[in-house]
């Protein structure tokens, strides 16, 4: 049997690093999704197994806390494991290391849906609850659970973005890490130069599709930034919340 | 001594593939830039050697002809070598393979500049012309030399884009492959579904920086699409050409 923890090697390709010389959060997030996908597929509860059964994993929460980010050409390792599995949600954690150094940790929460009805599916019904076998409660993930920014209704619309072909990924909808990129783009290079982002918490509520308009609303408290993203099909159309983000810097 | 050809292993990360299930041109281009960077650095004529000497490589032409693109999790190899070196330009070729299969080839032309004066620098003056040692005229690159679309002045402005933080790369200017992404985003998913892009030719004329506006102009003939990209600092400001693209599909 495979170990409960999957370990995957990556390298920060130079031209995926940002102008400040390190891998940005959305790129690290995509490597983590990739690690999650490989870990699940190798253990037969990934998309390869689920797709023909009209089931799919849907990312619900994603929290990432990085004390440092890989620099150009720096190799790094992502370890990932399942922390818990309930009927409707499963938690998957991540640890990012480079050599002996821990760069950061991630937490994610996933739901399963039936791709035909778009309704939640019972995770424990897959192979008679076999996913329970993979649960690892021993490996620590020493960062706080997923958190939310408390929006008080004072958030201001900062930008409307039309989603385009390259915003969508293999799932056919806007890539969940692309929202992080759009959110970090709300800030000028000078802001990024002066602030290192310690942690990002994403809550995903709905999917958006190529052609949708995304509306980004921003609020700020003394210790965090909140960004709410909604979608509409026309600029004056009804908006539906897509995701919410908390940034701690 | 190292071999003249450098060989680098990559894997198409699932979440960098597009909604049609394959790695898009701009992502392949970034892997190629990465391979070029590694090849040059390992042979002591890369940015690591040049930067402290106030010299830098600048991409002038980039042509990519792919008969197939890697699919999610597919490993692939990029081989790269220097085809010729003159005083002001050097040509570097690429071959992309996956297992026994050739996926495509690339050609690129680079100039060297003095980063203080921004003027062209003499490539053959670096280490007394040592770059000549690395020239490989034996390895074939069976695709046509870089080509240009003949713009007749009838091109129409299709989109203006404000460049943002994540558009810039470690060089501090807009990533050369990001232009390809912006150009491919001019077409709807349905167009991409119906047309496989056989070849892209880029000519780079100037750099643009985070905050610049990019204006994309499109023209089309029976067998190719041309996109001209200009930049301005304000929407009604003077425009300067940044790059031109020919797409063969």
SS3 B195: coil
CA–CA dist A133, A4 (Å, integer): 9
Q: What pTM does this model have?
A: 0.94
Cβ–Cβ < 8 Å for A84, A134: no
- Tell me the shortest Cα–Cα distance from A164 to chain B, in angstroms: 6
> Which segment of A13-17, A21-25, A106-110, B173-177 scores lowest on mean pLDDT?
A13-17
CATH of domain B6-134: 3.10.129.10
Q: Evaluate if residue B74 carries a pLDDT over 90.
A: yes
Q: Do B13 and A26 touch (CB under 8 A)?
A: no
Q: Does B71 touch chain A (CB under 8 A)?
A: no
Q: What are the Cα distances from residue A196, in Å, to A199, B21, B157?
A: 9, 34, 38
Q: Does A34 touch chain B (CB under 8 A)?
A: yes
CA–CA dist B40, B49 (Å, integer): 9
Mean pLDDT of chain A: 95
- Tell me the shortest Cα–Cα distance from A132 to chain B, in angstroms: 26
Q: What mean pLDDT do residues B163-184 have?
A: 95
Q: What mean pLDDT do residues B140-144 have?
A: 97
Q: What mean pLDDT do residues B155-176 have?
A: 94
Sort out which chain B residues have CB atoms less than 8 A from A16's CB and list them.
Answer: 30
Q: Do B17 and A188 touch (CB under 8 A)?
A: no
Q: Does B187 touch chain A (CB under 8 A)?
A: yes
CA B163 to chain CA centroid, nearest Å: 18
Q: Does B51 touch chain A (CB under 8 A)?
A: no
CA–CA dist B15, A177 (Å, integer): 9
Per-residue confidence at B1, pLDDT binned at 50, 70, 90? confident
Please give the share of chain B, as a percent, with pLDDT higher than 90.
Answer: 92
Q: Do A165 and B37 touch (CB under 8 A)?
A: no
H/E run at residue B100 = none
CATH architecture, range A156-248: Roll (3.10)
Q: Does A6 touch chain B (CB under 8 A)?
A: no
Q: Which two tokens stand for residue B56?
A: 């830098």
Q: Does B38 touch chain A (CB under 8 A)?
A: yes
Mean pLDDT of chain B: 95
Give the DSSP letter string of B106-147. Answer: EEEEEEEEETTT--B--GGGGGGGGGGGGB--SS---SPPP-
pLDDT in tens, B8-34: 999 998 889 999 999 999 999 999 999
CA–CA dist B160, B139 (Å, integer): 41
Nearest-CA neighbor of B108 among B39, B166, B23, B186? B39
Sort out which chain B residues have CB atoms less than 8 A from A30's CB and list them.
Answer: 13, 15-16
Residues in chain B: 249
pLDDT in tens, A135-149: 999 999 999 999 999
Report the phi/psi class of residue A99: left, alpha or beta, with left for phi > 0 and alpha for psi in -120 to 50: left
Q: Do B31 and A19 touch (CB under 8 A)?
A: no
Per-residue confidence at A123, pLDDT binned at 50, 70, 90? very high
Burial class (CB in 10 A: 0-12, 13-18, 19+), B239: middle
CA dihedral B246, B18, A166, B165 (to 10 degrees): -110
Cβ–Cβ < 8 Å for A202, A243: yes
Instruction: Please name the member of A17, A166, A181 whose beta carbon is closest to the beta carbon of B170.
Output: A17
Q: Does A4 touch chain B (CB under 8 A)?
A: no
Give the DSSP letter string of A150-165. Answer: ---S--EEEEEEE--G
- Tell me the shortest Cα–Cα distance from B236 to chain A, in angstroms: 21
Query: How many A-B residue pairs are in contact by the CB < 8 A criterion?
Result: 98
Q: Does B221 touch chain A (CB under 8 A)?
A: no
Q: Distance between the two ends of chain A, CA-based, in angstroms?
A: 41
Q: Which two tokens stand for residue A161?
A: 């973005």
Q: Do A165 and B172 touch (CB under 8 A)?
A: no
| 8-state DSSP, B182 | H
Cβ–Cβ < 8 Å for A63, A201: yes
Pick the residue from chain B with its C-alpha nearest to A19: B170
Residues 90-109 of B with CB under 8 A from A: none
Cβ–Cβ < 8 Å for A48, B204: no
Per-residue confidence at A60, pLDDT binned at 50, 70, 90? very high
Name the one residue in this structure whose structure tokens are 């060089």: B171
Report the phi/psi class of residue B52: left, alpha or beta, with left for phi > 0 and alpha for psi in -120 to 50: alpha
Domain with CATH 3.10.129.10 in chain B: 6-134, 156-248
Pick the residue from chain A with its C-alpha nearest to B176: A15
- Largest Cα span, chain B: 55
Q: Evaluate if residue A234 carries a pLDDT over 90.
A: no
Q: Evaluate if residue A235 carries a pLDDT over 80.
A: no
Q: Do A166 and B172 touch (CB under 8 A)?
A: no
**Which residue, among A50, A164, A183, would best test binding to B if mutated, counting the most B CBs under 10 Å from its CB?**
A164
Sort out which chain B residues have CB atoms less than 8 A from A72's CB and list them.
Answer: 170
Nearest-CA neighbor of A140 among A206, A72, A93? A93
Burial class (CB in 10 A: 0-12, 13-18, 19+), A20: middle
Cβ–Cβ < 8 Å for A247, A200: yes
């Amino acid at each position: 049997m495979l170990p409960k923890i999957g370990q995957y090697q990556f390298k920060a390709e130079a031209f995926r690093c940002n102008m400040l010389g390190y891998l940005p959060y959305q790129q690290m997030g995509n490597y983590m999704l990739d690690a999650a996908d490989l870990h699940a597929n190798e253990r037969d509860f990934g998309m390869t197994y689920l797709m023909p059964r009209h089931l799919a994993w849907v990312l619900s929460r994603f929290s990432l806390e990085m004390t440092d980010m890989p620099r150009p050409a720096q190799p790094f390792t992502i370890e990932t494991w399942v922390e818990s599995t309930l009927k409707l949600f499963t938690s998957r954690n991540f640890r990012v290391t480079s050599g002996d150094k821990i760069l950061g940790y991630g937490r994610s929460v996933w739901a399963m849906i039936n791709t035909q009805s778009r309704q939640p599916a019972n995770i424990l019904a897959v192979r008679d609850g076999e996913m329970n076998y993979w649960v690892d409660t021993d490996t620590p993930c020493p960062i706080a659970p997923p958190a939310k920014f408390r929006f008080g209704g004072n958030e201001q619309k900062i930008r409307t973005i039309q989603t385009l072909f390259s915003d969508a990924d293999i799932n056919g909808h806007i890539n969940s890490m692309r929202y992080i990129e759009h959110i970090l783009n709300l800030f000028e290079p000078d802001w990024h130069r002066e602030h290192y982002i310690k942690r990002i918490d994403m809550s995903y509520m709905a999917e958006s599709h190529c052609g949708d308009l995304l509306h980004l609303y921003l609020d700020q408290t003394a210790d965090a930034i909140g960004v709410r993203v909604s979608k509409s099909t026309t600029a004056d159309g009804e908006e539906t919340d897509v995701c919410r983000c908390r940034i701690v810097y």
